[in-house]
A and B are shown apart, each in its own frame.
Chain A
Amino acid sequence: MSSDTCAYDYYDEVITTPLYLLLEKYPLSADYLANHRLHGIDLSKTLTDALTDEDIDALEEFGLDVDGLVLHFCKFLEAFTLSQTCDLGKIHSLTIIGGMDKSGVPENVSLTLHPGEIVSIVGPTGSGKSRLLEDIECMAQKDTPTMRQILINGLAPDDERRFDTGGKLVAQLSQTMNFVVDLTVREFLEMHAKSRMVSNVEEVVKRSFICANSLAGEKFTPDTKVTQLSGGQSRALMIADTALMSASPIILIDEIENAGIDRKEAIKLLAGNEKIILMSTHDPLLALRADRRIVIKNGGISKILVTSDEERESLDKIEKIDRVLLNLRNSLRRGDVISKDSVCEIKEESNEQL
């Protein structure tokens, strides 16, 4: 809770500084003025001097008078400078201490994850994957139905931290997500960068764009509307944007197997950006790339498997199969005729296996 005493820190500055200087120092002030229909205000004056009688009448509709506006503006400045400095703090580790499944059987597990690590989650639909996610999101302290406990950096977070981070701990990416804003790719990335208050907007936007394009099967331009992107392009943009711009230290990826993007690169990108990645998937190519996988059954963690050497060896073969399929897909896209040769090699190999 921000107290009024802190807002007063900005009080003297706000009443003595001409608006154009305030806007230079705190660019977000422009939004504040626009939100209160004050975008046409005389910027060479201070806020209180610049207000016309008409502006003051209009303020009433926002439930503010001149003094109220100044204080409210100070609070606004305080809120946004504060969130810049004490975002989430650095997360070095996330620990899940088991509770119990739906039948009350203890989970008997303790799992610690570090940034850059990838863990896959497997289990049938409705087995309790989203419950696990929610426990992480609200940093459960043996007070959710599963009785699990979540530790951050080895410690139980205090209540304030638990409830103030609301929604910021876990970023989510899933097959069912869409873009709804009517903006171009560039505008979209700029908007996100602005809300993250990054100082070098142009550079971050450029990096995210290049990155998204390298993941996408089919390339797109920065002037494409985000709503016109194909499924694969959308997913690529979401992944690049989440990896490079999201505030969340933990990312949950839900079923992105058929997305038409370079999955291997996408996962590498996310892990490379010091994120903890939880990946709910049944795609062997992705699941086996994780270091460990959590098996969920009946609402509980039934076991945690470490990816074995044998599984890793199989991964090479699976990649080969995948590459054959990818080539076939590309041939179809080019309008080629699929020859017998392009599939038979793998076919024989898989027969041997059987």
Chain B
Amino acid sequence: MKLITVAGPPSSGKTSVILKTIAALGLPKRSVGVVKFDSLTSFDNVRYSENDVPVQTGFAGKICPDHFFVTNIEGAISWGKRKNLSMLITESAGLCNRCSPYIKGILSVCVIDNLSGVNTPRKIGPMLKYADIVVVTKGDIVSQAEREVFAFNIKEVNSNAKVIFVNGITGQGTFILAKYFSEVPEVDTLKDRTLKFTMPAAICSYCTGETRIGDYYQLGMLKKMEYGD
């Protein structure tokens, strides 16, 4: 089974890109499945089901979404194998711009949209920096210049990435993306593989349910800001 991880900010168009790419792959019905990692709610499973794509959804809830991803990714592989999928795509929302749910040796795709502002690529961090492919959506509604500057800013952060413009409505651009998807090597297990980037340090008192404010309650790994005059 082939595995591809797709990440990106909420509402950047991940689901549309994945659905259009599955269509462009031209593989037999129900042979490409999706596992969606989200935090609280998600309605994307409906769209996948409508398109006859096998889907599983997991909610991180109070757990850091990326920790949740890494502790459940092997389960996703087992599910995919049970379903006899030839390709499994994981979709996760990047929530704090700090993390990247990417695994070494597994095709990592970051989806961001042109509407989020030309400087966004410079702010996203590891999710963009460690991606193999950066998919840019919603290019059909901004000017050519903004598309070009956006791609340039992506290259400034991640000069190795392939930048692909995809129209999530018409599917324009998914042909090339599908080509990359179909070329990834097969994986059987992820055991002993490593993440491309460390997960956030989440070991302070607030991680364990503290809600009160004040120095006295702040224990564990903390970082204090230095304010100017």
Taking Cβ atoms with an 8 Å cutoff, the residues of A that contact B are 1-2, 28, 31-32, 34-35, 61-63, 75-76, 78-80, 83, 130, 133-134, 137-138, 140, 144, 162-164, 166-167, 171-174, 176-181, 188-189, 191-192, 195-196, 234, 238, 241-242, 245-248
Q: Can you give 29 A-B contacts (C-beta < 8 A)?
A: A62-B129, A63-B126, A75-B159, A75-B160, A76-B159, A80-B156, A83-B155, A134-B172, A134-B175, A137-B173, A140-B175, A144-B175, A163-B176, A166-B162, A166-B165, A167-B163, A172-B140, A172-B144, A173-B144, A178-B141, A179-B142, A179-B143, A180-B142, A195-B148, A195-B149, A241-B145, A242-B144, A242-B145, A246-B145
Chain B interface (Cβ < 8 Å from any Cβ of A): 98, 114-115, 117-118, 122, 125-126, 129-130, 136, 139-149, 151-153, 155-157, 159-160, 162-165, 170, 172-173, 175-176, 179-180, 197-198
Of A140, A162, A163, the most chain B CB neighbours within 10 A belong to A163
Which of A83, A173, A174, A195 has the largest count of B CB atoms less than 10 A from its CB? A195
**Cβ-defined contact, B148 with A247, below 8 A:** yes
Complexed CA–CA distance, A28 and B147 (Å): 19
> A137 and B172: CB pair below 8 A?
yes
Q: Contacts of B165 on A, CB cut-off 8 Å?
A: 166-167
Q: What does DSSP make chain B's interface, helix, strand, loop or mixed?
A: helix
Report B64 CB to chain A, min CB distance, Å.
16
Known: A31-B156, A195-B152. A176 touches B146 (CB 8 A): no
Closest to B151 in A: A167
Give the Cβ gap from B119 to chain A, nearest Cβ, in Å: 9
| Residue contact B140 to A174, C-beta cutoff 8 Å | yes
For the complex, what is the distance from the CA of A166 to the CA of B172, rounded to whole Å? 12
B125 touches A133 (CB 8 A): no
Instruction: Flag if B198 contacts A63 (CB, 8 Å).
Output: yes
- B129, B145, B163, B170: which contacts A188 (Cβ < 8 A)? B145
Q: Which residues of A contact B117 (CB under 8 A)?
A: 180-181
Which residues on A sit within 8 Å (CB–CB) of B125? 62
Q: Report which of A79, A177, A178, A181 forms a contact with B159, defined as CB distance below 8 A.
A: A79
CB pair B144–A246 under 8 Å, yes or no, is: yes
Task: Contact check, A167 vs B159: say whether CB atoms are below 8 A apart.
Answer: no
B187 to nearest A CB, angstroms?
A: 21
Chain B residues whose CB sits within 8 angstroms of the CB of A245 once the complex forms: 145
> What are the residues of chain A within 8 A of B152 when measuring CB–CB?
195
Closest Cβ neighbor of B142 among chain A residues: A180
Of the candidates B136, B155, B180, the one having the most CB atoms from chain A within 10 angstroms of its own CB is: B155
**A194 CA to B122 CA in the complex, in Å?**
16
Do A178 and B143 touch across chains, with their CB atoms under 8 A apart? yes
Measured between beta carbons, the chain A residues less than 8 angstroms from B126 are 62-63
Nearest B residue to A164 by beta-carbon distance? B162
Chain A residues near B162 (CB-CB < 8 A): 163-164, 166
Q: Which of B147, B159, B198 has the most CB of A within 10 A?
A: B159
| B25 smallest CB distance to A (angstroms) | 13
**A35 and B176 contact, Cβ closer than 8 Å, known pairs A63-B198, A179-B143:** no
Specify which of A162, A173, A180 lies most central, judged by the most chain B CB atoms within 10 Å of its CB: A180
- A-B Cβ contacts below 8 A, count: 118
On whether A166 and B163 interact (CB within 8 A), knowing A133-B172, A144-B175, A247-B148, the answer reads: yes
B142 with A177: CB separation less than 8 A: yes
Q: In the assembled complex, which residues on chain B have CB atoms less than 8 Å from the CB atom of A2?
A: 159-160
Q: When A76-B159, A166-B176 are in contact, do A181 and B148 touch as well, CB less than 8 Å?
A: no
**What are the residues of chain A within 8 A of B176 when measuring CB–CB?**
138, 162-163, 166
Least distance between A156 CB and chain B CB atoms (Å): 16
Pick the residue among A75, A144, A191, A248 that contacts B118 (CB under 8 A).
A191
Residues of A within 8 A of B153 (CB): 195
CB-nearest residue of chain A to B160: A2
Q: Which residues of B contact A79 (CB under 8 A)?
A: 155, 159-160
Q: Chain B nearest CB: distance from A202 CB in Å?
A: 17
Q: Which of A32, A34, A179 contacts B146 (CB 8 A)?
A: A179
Name the A residues within 8 Å of B170 (CB-CB).
Answer: 130
What residue in chain B is nearest A28 (Cβ atoms)?
Answer: B156
B86 to chain A, nearest CB (A): 19
Q: In the complex, what distance in Å separates the CA atom of A39 from the CA atom of B64? A: 31
How many Å lie between the Cα of A171 and that of B143 in the bound state? 10
Give the Cβ gap from B17 to chain A, nearest Cβ, in Å.
Answer: 14
- Decide if B145 touches A176 in the complex (CB within 8 Å): no
In the complex, which residues of chain B have a beta carbon less than 8 angstroms from the beta carbon of A191?
118, 145, 149
Given the complex of chains A and B, what is the CA–CA distance between A163 and B182 in angstroms?
14
A75 to B160, CA, bound (A): 9
> How near does chain B come to A192, taking the closest CB pair, in angstroms?
4
User: In the complex the two chains form, what is the Cα distance from A248 to B148 in whole Å?
Assistant: 10
A31→B155 CA distance, assembly (Å): 11
Which residues of B have CB within 8 Å of A83? 155
B122, B125, B149: which has the most chain A beta carbons within 10 Å?
B149
A139 (CB) vs chain B CBs: closest residue: B176
* B143 CB contact (under 8 Å) in A63, A138, A177: A177
Output the nearest chain A residue to B153 by Cβ-Cβ distance.
Answer: A195
Q: A171-B144, A195-B148 are in contact. Are A163 and B118 (CB under 8 A)?
A: no
